[in-house]
């Protein structure tokens, strides 16, 4: 019997893991056009029966509306009660800029409410507070994340092999924050731009894992997406959470449908008027430095982002590519500082990495990477004149170009403009300093 149990644990550890999932509760309600039209006040009352241990409850709405112009006419008023006798004042919930990008379909962000409230009134109203009748379907999603049953430590992961030594920061994985599902058919993208967001939700919580789970639930059940939209999320206490599943370079859903080439990081909270915490901003520059270093992204340089058709900085705000206030004015006020801090971290990591490097080579950088049809350079920073052989090699190992550049101390900018004529794909740039070799991957788009 003991042996059987041992084998069970050996081969099915995920089944044991599922026992430590949160005790989440969800109530999904669909109101048809008929039921909306038959309800003259457009006022609906629900009993949740979420009587369990949980840090909070939250609600969100998705709806279909016949309308003109960018924004929907409708929004929603919520009132809560413990006993269905005494009710809270109404709170408004509007359509969210991060949500669905389909004509006539809208979704709100999360509305958080206290776990003691078991009864909810929802009213559909227009901008003047009057009842609308042009809404054809409303889906209301009530969610309660449940309590964390097992505390766990941060996972350490090994980053992609790279000539840069910026480590991937430790993070809470999807297992750590109790994501109920694995990745759903993830697509991989070549990351060239790093995008910062805010969640436009609560700035206060004693259970950030529960907030991440609630954002996942919003994106999956209200927005109807395959998975959480952001690649990473950071809570105000500086904890980094893994977002969309599928590993490094997975394409998220956070940039108005133009996600290819991006990695999206969400600062949890609303930073329209609130100043973001230093610990959170430090973690943001850490994750940006890791990715910028790995993908040779220059945070301070604008490069073409094909999906949006804009020239975007290596580190940009959501509002730089889409019509939104995100990442909040107080974060956006710091965007130059975020770029500078991230870049400084990359340079500091590169300096550490060069200890195992050829004597005299301080750092190398390709700008921009991926290479498109604009001027591209390999910058080689030398602290003394050490000659090297420069090669461009394709994935079959063929040497496509080879030269011994004329060098000087300081930055040597080697033009890569001929690479723009190569077929799209990955190439290696190889620098040979006597016996020591440094390689870097470059992408032609």
Q: Give φ, ψ of 367 to 5 degrees.
A: -135, 130
Taking the complex as a whole, the smallest distance from the CB of residue 206 to Zn ion amounts, in Å, to: 25
Please give the structure tokens belonging to residue 437: 């070799």
Would you say 152 or 324 has its CB closer to Zn ion?
Answer: 324
The beta strands (E) that lie in 53-115 are given as 57-65, 75-81, 91-93, 105-107, 111-113
Return the DSSP state at 113: E
How many Cα atoms are found within 13 Å in the side-chain-facing hemisphere of 216?
Answer: 29
Nearer to Zn ion, 22 or 318 (CB): 318
Instruction: Decide whether 239 or 262 has the Cβ nearer to Zn ion.
Output: 262
Cβ neighbours for 330, distance < 8 A, ≥ 6 positions apart: 271, 272, 273, 274, 275, 276
Q: How far is the CB of 87 from Zn ion (least distance, A)?
A: 33
Distance CA 313, CA 234 (A): 21
- Could you tell me the smallest distance in angstroms from the CB atom of residue 200 to Zn ion? 8
Of the candidates 227, 209, 214, which has an alpha carbon nearest to the alpha carbon of residue 25? Answer: 214
- Nearer Cβ to Zn ion (240/326): 326
Beta bridge partners of 380: 364, 412
Rg (CA), the chain: 25
Cis-peptide, bond into residue 327, ω within 30° of zero: yes
Strands 43-47 and 240-242: unpaired
- The continuous run of DSSP H or E covering 7 comes out as helix 2-11
Taking residue 101's Cβ as centre, other Cβ atoms within 10 Å add up to 12
Query: Tokens 């004015």, residue?
Result: 329
Distance in Å, CB of 425 to Zn ion, minimum: 31
Q: Which residues contribute to the site for Zn ion (CB under 5 A)?
A: 197, 318, 326
Q: Provide the token pair at 70.
A: 């960018």
Q: What is the DSSP letter of 221?
A: I
CA angle 31, 103, 320 (to 5 degrees): 120
Q: Which is nearer to Zn ion, 326 or 438 (CB)?
A: 326
Q: Smallest distance, Å, CB 213 to Zn ion?
A: 19
Closer residue to Zn ion (CB): 97 or 126 = 97
If the CB atoms of residues 197 and 219 are measured against Zn ion, the closer one turns out to be: 197
Choose between 75 and 318: whose C-beta lies nearer to Zn ion.
318
Residue 1, CA distances (Å) to 8, 164, 209, 301 in order: 11, 51, 37, 63
Nearer Cβ to Zn ion (265/392): 265
User: At CA 128, angle to CA 124 and CA 133, rounded to 5?
Assistant: 40
Nearest distance, CB of residue 277 and Zn ion, angstroms: 18
């Amino acid at each position: 019997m003991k042996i059987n149990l041992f084998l069970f644990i050996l081969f099915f550890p995920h089944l044991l893991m599922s026992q430590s999932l949160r005790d989440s509760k969800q109530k999904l309600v669909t109101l048809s056009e008929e039921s909306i039209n038959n309800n003259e006040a457009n006022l609906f009352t629900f009993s949740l029966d979420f009587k369990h241990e949980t840090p909070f409850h939250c609600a969100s709405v998705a709806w279909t509306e016949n309308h003109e112009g960018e924004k929907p006419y409708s929004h929603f008023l919520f009132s809560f009660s413990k006993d269905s006798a005494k009710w809270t004042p109404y709170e408004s919930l509007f359509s969210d800029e991060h949500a669905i990008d389909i004509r006539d379909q809208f979704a709100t962000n999360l509305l958080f409410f206290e776990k003691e409230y078991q009864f909810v009134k929802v009213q559909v109203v227009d901008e003047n507070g009057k009842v609308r009748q042009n809404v054809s379907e409303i889906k209301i999603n009530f969610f309660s994340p449940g309590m964390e049953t097992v505390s766990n430590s941060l996972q350490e992961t090994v980053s992609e092999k790279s000539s840069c030594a910026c480590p991937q920061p430790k993070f809470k994985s999807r297992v750590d924050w109790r994501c109920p599902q694995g990745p759903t058919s993830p697509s991989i993208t070549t990351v060239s731009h790093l995008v910062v967001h805010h969640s436009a939700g609560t700035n206060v919580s004693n259970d950030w894992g529960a907030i991440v789970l609630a954002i996942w639930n919003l994106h999956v059940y209200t927005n109807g997406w395959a998975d959480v939209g952001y690649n990473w999320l950071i809570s105000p206490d500086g904890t980094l959470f893994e977002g969309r599943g599928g590993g490094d370079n997975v394409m998220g859903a956070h940039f108005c449908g133009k996600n290819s080439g991006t990695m999206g990081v969400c600062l949890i909270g609303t930073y329209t008027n609130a100043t973001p915490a230093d610990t959170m901003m430090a973690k943001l520059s850490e994750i940006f430095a890791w990715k910028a270093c790995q993908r040779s992204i220059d945070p301070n340089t604008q490069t073409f982002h094909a999906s949006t058709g804009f020239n975007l900085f290596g580190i940009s705000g959501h509002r730089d590519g889409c019509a939104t206030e995100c990442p909040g004015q107080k974060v956006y006020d710091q965007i130059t500082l975020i770029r500078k801090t991230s870049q400084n971290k990359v340079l500091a990591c590169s300096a550490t990495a060069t200890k195992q490097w050829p004597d005299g080579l301080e750092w190398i950088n390709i700008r921009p990477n991926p290479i498109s049809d604009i001027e591209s350079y390999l910058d080689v920073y030398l602290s003394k004149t050490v000659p090297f052989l420069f090669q461009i090699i394709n994935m079959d190992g063929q040497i496509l170009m080879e030269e011994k550049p004329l060098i000087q101390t300081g930055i040597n900018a080697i033009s890569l403009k001929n690479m723009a004529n190569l077929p799209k794909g990955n190439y290696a740039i190889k620098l040979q300093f006597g016996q020591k070799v440094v390689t870097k991957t470059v992408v032609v788009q």
